Amino acid sequence: MTLENWLLLLLTCCGVCVVPGPNSIMVVNHVTRFGLKKALATIAGGMLGFIILMMIAVLGLGPFLKTAPGFILALKTVGSFYLAMIGVRLLWDSESHYDGSKDIKDGNHPSLFRQGFLSAILNINALLFFIAIMPNFLDPDASIVTQAIECALTLAVCEMVVEFGFALLIWRYREKIMKSGVWFNRICGVLFFVFAFLLQFRNY
């Protein structure tokens, strides 16, 4: 990959990471409920999921997926259902007694990592987006494996920096957010329903 193409890729990855999505909302919710350190597991899980999607797109599996619309639909359905279930859970929590001090003690790293990973890896629209744009950055004369690693690492660094910066900002205002904890959970729950709908019906 040429330096010019890599710089364009870097700008694209930064732009993609800055746009709020399901993983961003999940990080916000986990930072507020479980604390900054535990939310790092959520960020790491999402980062791994997006790396895998990027590798799939760059290594040429895109054409295969495009010839299997049933498989794409199945992935969309599973991903939408998963996001909707998170929304239901958050709305259910908001209807019960909300105790933020209890939340900060709950939540374990493997569970938060798994939630972040599943939210990313099941985002089929992100995969289709990567499949659509990645050919613009690849050098046909260079090693595809090397370029796949370059793309994945670039995305990983952008995702980590943006999400961690976002998490720090949310953590700074956590006390104010926690004062309206019930409504905060409701808003996050509704947003997950919105993302579930978009994942199912929006195409790239």
Nearest to 32 by CA among 202, 201, 183: 183
Query: What span, in angstroms and rounded, lies between the C-alpha atoms of 26 and 32?
Result: 10
Residue range 104-131, pLDDT digits in tens: 455 678 889 999 998 888 887 788 778 7
Confidence of residue 141 (pLDDT cuts 50, 70, 90): confident
Distance, C-alpha 77 to centroid of its chain: 17
Query: What span, in angstroms and rounded, lies between the C-alpha atoms of 86 and 68?
Result: 28
Confidence of residue 98 (pLDDT cuts 50, 70, 90): very low
The H helix count followed by the E strand count for the chain is 11, 0
Mean pLDDT, rounded, of the chain? 76
Residue range 168-186, pLDDT digits in tens: 888 887 776 666 556 666 7
Look at residue 67 and tell me whether its pLDDT is greater than 50.
yes
pLDDT of residue 96: 45
Q: For the whole model, what pTM was predicted?
A: 0.71
pLDDT of residue 2: 77
CB 87, CB 153: distance < 8 Å:
no
User: Which residues contact residue 150 at a Cβ distance below 8 angstroms, ignoring those fewer than 6 apart?
Assistant: 1, 6
CA dihedral 41, 154, 80, 116 (to 10 degrees): 0
Query: What span, in angstroms and rounded, lies between the C-alpha atoms of 128 and 136?
Result: 14
User: Which residues contact residue 193 at a Cβ distance below 8 angstroms, ignoring those fewer than 6 apart?
Assistant: 83, 84, 87
Look at residue 145 and tell me whether its pLDDT is greater than 60.
yes
Name the more confident of 122 and 48: 48
In the chain, % of residues over pLDDT 70: 72
Confidence of residue 45 (pLDDT cuts 50, 70, 90): very high
Tallying the residues shown for the chain, one arrives at 204
